[in-house]
Amino acid sequence: MPRRLLGALLLVGLMWNHAFLHQGEREGREPMVRVNVTVFDRAGQPLLDLRREDFTVFELGREQRIERFLSPRAPLRIIVLVDRSPSVAFGLPKALDAVLEFILNLGAHDEVSVISFGSRVSLEADFTFNVERLREVLRHLEPARDPTDRTKLYDAVAIALERLQDQPDVRTALLLVTDGQDRGSTEARRDETLRLARRRFVTIYPLYITERASSKSRYLEELAATTGGELYRTDAHLDRNLTELARLLRFHYVLGYISSNPPDPKRAHTIEVRLARTDVTIRATQSYRPFVKKS
C-alpha cells in the first residue's frame, strides 16, 4: 500500500469507527476480553495441539464462557509502530535493535508490518515474513531533526488498529515504540484510541523510550492494561524481554470471552487460566483494566 494512501485510510477508518463505537455504546455491548496463553511441557517445549475444551478461564474468580479460540497454528500478524519524532532520538537506535531481535525470534511464517509516525503516518513495510526486508526498513528509520515536528501518536495508534481490525482467524499484536507523547494528532483523540483498542481484540505491547527509570506514561500504561498487554522499557533487560515476548507470541493460544462481571475501571480484573492436566507450565494474560468513558 503506497504511503500516500495512509492518510485516506485513517480518515475513512476513523469515520467508520466513530459510528461503530457509538452504536456499540447505545446497545450496551461489552467488547470481548482477549487472553493470550502459552503452554509448555516439563521439558520446556510448547504444546500446540490443545483444544478449546482443555481450557477453563476465570475472571475475578468467576468462570467465563470461552467464545473464541485460536491455536498457535493460526496465522500471526504483528504491526510494529515506530515513533520518529525528535524526542525519541536518544533511545530509538537501541529500541530498534531490540525490535529486530524480536522479529528474528518469531516463526518463519509470522507476518510483520512496520508503520512510522511523526508529523505524518507512513507505511514502511506491509505485512511480510521477509526478515531481510524488515531488517532493511528498521535500519533506515531515523528520528526527525526538526524540533517543531508534530508527533501524531493517537492518529498512528488508530490507523494501526484499523489495519489489524477484528480478524476472527488471525492472531494479532501491536508493538508500539514511543515515548508516549502526542503533539498534533488531528483525527483521533486519546480516549477514542483506548476504546478502539479494547474493541479491536488486539493485544498492545508498548515499548517505552525513556531516559529515567522512574518516569511513567499514563497513556502507554492504559493501552497495555486495557488490552491485557505489557509495557517494556528501554533498559538493560530490553533485548531479553522482547526475545521472550516473541517466543510467547509465536506459540500462544488466543481465548476470547464476554465478561460476566460489571466493568470496574478502578481495579484490575484478574484472570486465571486452568488446564485439567498438571504436567504443564502456563503463561497467560493475568489481568486487564476495563476502559469506561468518563462522563
pLDDT tens, 50-88? Answer: 999 999 999 999 999 999 999 999 999 999 999 999 999
Q: Residue 180: phi, psi to the nearest 5?
A: 85, 10
Which ranges constitute the DSSP H helices of the chain?
A: 5-27, 92-104, 131-139, 153-164, 190-199, 218-227, 238-250
* Total tally of structural domains belonging to the chain: 2
Q: Tell me what pLDDT residue 19 has.
A: 44
Q: For residue 156, give the nearest of 135, 129, 177, 173 by alpha carbon.
A: 177
Residue span of the structural domain in which 66 resides: 31-72+251-295
- The answer to whether residues 194 and 84 belong to one domain is yes
- The answer to whether residues 203 and 78 belong to one domain is yes
- The answer to whether residues 61 and 127 belong to one domain is no
pTM higher than the cut 0.85: yes
Q: Tell me what pLDDT residue 25 has.
A: 44
- The answer to whether residues 93 and 36 belong to one domain is no
511441557: which residue's cell?
Answer: 41
Question: Residue 93: which residues within 8 A CB-CB, separation 6 or more?
Answer: none
Rg (Cα) of the chain, in Å, rounded? 19
Regions of the chain where pLDDT drops below 50: 1-2, 4-5, 11-27
DSSP 279: S
Q: What spatial distance separates the first Cα and last Cα of the chain, rounded to whole Å?
A: 39
d(Cα 178, Cα 88) in Å, to the nearest integer? 7
- The answer to whether residues 185 and 281 belong to one domain is no
- The answer to whether residues 213 and 92 belong to one domain is yes
Q: Tell me what pLDDT residue 29 has.
A: 60
Question: Residue 113: which residues within 8 A CB-CB, separation 6 or more?
Answer: 77, 78, 79, 80, 123, 125, 126, 127, 128, 163
- The answer to whether residues 174 and 271 belong to one domain is no
